[in-house]
Structure formats: structure tokens, C-alpha cells
Amino acid sequence: MRLLDRIIRAVLLVCMTVLSGYILIRAVTIAGENGVFQDTPLLSAFYRKLETYSEQLFVPVLYYDEATQVWQQDLEAGVRQTMIPFAWYADRLGEESRQNEPDEEYELILEAEAKAEEQKQPLDLQEWMVSRKQTEDTQKEESENESTQGSREEEFATLLNAYFSMDAATTIDSSRLNNSLLDMDLSLDQTEGPQILIYHSHSQEGFTDTVEGDDTTTIVGVGDYLTQLLTEQYGYEVIHDRGVYDLVDGVLDRNVAYDYAGAAVEKWLEEYPQIQVIIDLHRDGVDGKKFVTEYQGKQTANLMFILGMSQTADHQDITYLPNPYIKENTAFALQMQILAERDAPGVMRNIYLMAYRFNLHYRPRSILLEAGTQLNSLEEEKNAMNVFAQILNKELKGSR
């Protein structure tokens, strides 16, 4: 109906315009032919202007603008613009308004009418439009969520493949491993008193040149050296717990070592609640394997962070081993891993994910650090501590 109305309106305007134009142009032409405008050049020029303006005003579709060499081809627009300017202006406003919103609303109305006809019952237009808007919003939100989830899965795959190895007994997903870990600020808060605690759940771990009965040549001695670096070179206050937690009545028993070590950590935290970093320092034990690389011309034991996920391979939380700081621990290890690969490439092995907790639940910046294996030397171990102290300092100073 809207198209038919426009056609009828256009035809009527054309007829009125052509008739009026014809009368005026014919009158001007007859007057010109009878010589009315030929007496003087001024009247002759006036005649030509009058003839041109008459054509342009009343028959715009037939008027050819010699200056711009353009025909006015929109008959209805041209006639309305010249003869009925207010009506043309009103149409122009209506067209702009329809471009902004009503066209879309008109389509919705048509859709609602079709829906009502299909259902053979009246349809509350306002209620239907609100419902339609809610549906569209829901679909948009689901689409955005799918896009975000897709991005998270890509981040997860990239980080996992680049920096991690995972034990078959556990798992991790994109909710725990994504780029948000890289943005976490784990720099050290300035406090008085000890800031870092170093201890050894397995104090009896030794190396190729360990002297029996001399703990300065075991992993405990490596902890002594790390403590010295952090205090003398980097200015931290450090507690080094040299306690033995893996011997029971003189017999090696590592099954209870984490329980005994955990009880000791709790006592230290009770005495010094300002402690913010906890490091359980180990050396790895792999049959026939020696992990070593050359760094700055020195033979250096490879380092590895271990993280406890408190989760089984089928995504089930180990409820009796809760850890509220898994995200912070993971970020702490990942950020230092990236730092080390930038500043000391080749020193770090992949971060190893395991199912249990390993006493990493006491502070947000808790880490289990494996340095070399039983086939490394004490010197290689100490060289590795130089690298670790350097990256730990950068992490705690926020100078990544």
C-alpha cells in the first residue's frame, strides 16, 4: 500500500506540475514569439532567464542543467522540492528517521503479524517485542561467551605446550591456566622481619660429591648457599630451616616427610606471620639421568618447579588436600619460568604438574623447587642457585 500511495501521489504531482508549467512556458513562449521581449537587449535577456527558470521550476525532470551537464531525473523529488518545499522537508525527515530505527521496527511488526497469523490468535505486540529482545540478548551473550571460551582454550593450549609437563594422575584446564596468570602482581609487600622461608622436606638428598654425615654437601648445603645469595646480594630477610623431616628413628621415611615438614612450616608462620614466600628445596631423583646445562661458561644443574593441583586426572578435587592458592602458586611458577627462559635460556625444565598438594597451601607464593639430580655435583647445584636467586629477585621486585 505504501508503494501504491507514492505512485498515485507522484502521478498527481506530475500532472499538476506539467499542466502549470505548460501554461506558464506556453505563455512565455507566445510572448517571445510575438516579439514582446525583442525591443531591448535587457528584455531579451529577461525572457531567456524567465524561460529557463520556468523549465527548472515546473518541469524539473525535463530540465537539463548546462552548467553541470546533469539531468534532474527524480521527478517526484524534484517537483516536491521546488513546488512544495515544506512537504519535501517533511518527507526528508521521515526518511532519515526510518533509516535510524523505524525500518527495523517496521520489520519486527511485520514479523509479529506473521507470527500471530501463523498461531491463529491475537499477539500482544509489546510483550512479543520484549520477548524477542530478550532472546536476541541471550543469543548475543552466548555467542560472546563462546568466543571468550574459544580464546581461553587457545591460551590454555599455548601455555600448556610451551611451559608445562603433567603427571598422568592429575589434570588442569583453561579455568586454572590462562593468560590472566601473567597479569597477576606477585611482587613482595614491604614488611619488617623475615620475608622468605626455605626448608627441605627431603633433607637427605645428596649429590655425586656429597660427604656422608656432612649436611653442607647435601641439598641442605645448597639451601645455605641460596640463603646467602638472597640476604647478602639481594637484601632479603630469609629463614633457612635446616630441620630433618625424612628420617624416623634414624631410618629414611619419605612417606611422612611432608606431614612433619608441614607442621614445622606452621610453627614458622605462627612465629613470623609476615613471611610471604615459601620454598621447599629438593634435588630430583631420576635413574641414570643427570640434568645439566652450560650457563655463562659454567656447568649448571637444571631447575624444575613442581606444582600440586590437588586434583585427580578426572577433574575431581582431592577434598582432603585443599589448596586455596593454586592460582597464585601457578602464576608464581609460570612468571618465573618465563623470566628464566628469557634471561637464562636452557636452565629451566618444564613446570611439572602433580596431583597432590606438597604443602603449597600456606602462602600464595609457595613453590617446590627441584635442582638437578643425584648425578649432579654440588658446584653445579650452587651455580643453579645463582640463576634462581636472580629470577626470584626480579619476580619479587616486580621488574619482569
| pLDDT tens-place string over residues 151-193 | 889 999 999 999 999 999 999 999 999 999 999 999 999 889 9
Q: What is the pLDDT of residue 59?
A: 52
For position 146, what pLDDT does the model report?
A: 55
pLDDT at 191: 87
Structure-model confidence comparison of residues 16 and 337, the more confident one: 337
Average pLDDT over the chain, rounded to an integer:
82
Is the pLDDT reported for residue 260 higher than 80?
yes
Q: Is residue 75 predicted with pLDDT exceeding 90?
A: no
Sequence length of the chain is: 400
Pull the grid cell for residue 58.
515546473
Rounded to 10 degrees, what is the CA torsion of 311, 312, 315, 319?
-50
**CA 153 to CA 161: how far, in whole Å?**
12
Residues in CB range of 4: below 8 A, 6 or more apart: none
pLDDT score of 278: 98
Q: How far apart are CA 10 and CA 15, in angstroms?
A: 9
pLDDT for 329-382, tens place per residue?
A: 999 999 999 999 999 999 999 999 999 999 999 999 999 999 999 999 999 999
What's the CA gap between 47 and 41, in Å, rounded? 10
Nearest-angstrom CA–CA distance, 355 and 307: 8
User: What spatial distance separates the first Cα and last Cα of the chain, rounded to whole Å?
Assistant: 70
Domain ranges of the chain: 2-100, 167-397
CATH topology of domain 167-397: Aminopeptidase (3.40.630)
Taking alpha carbons only, the member of 306, 300, 302 closest to residue 333 is: 306
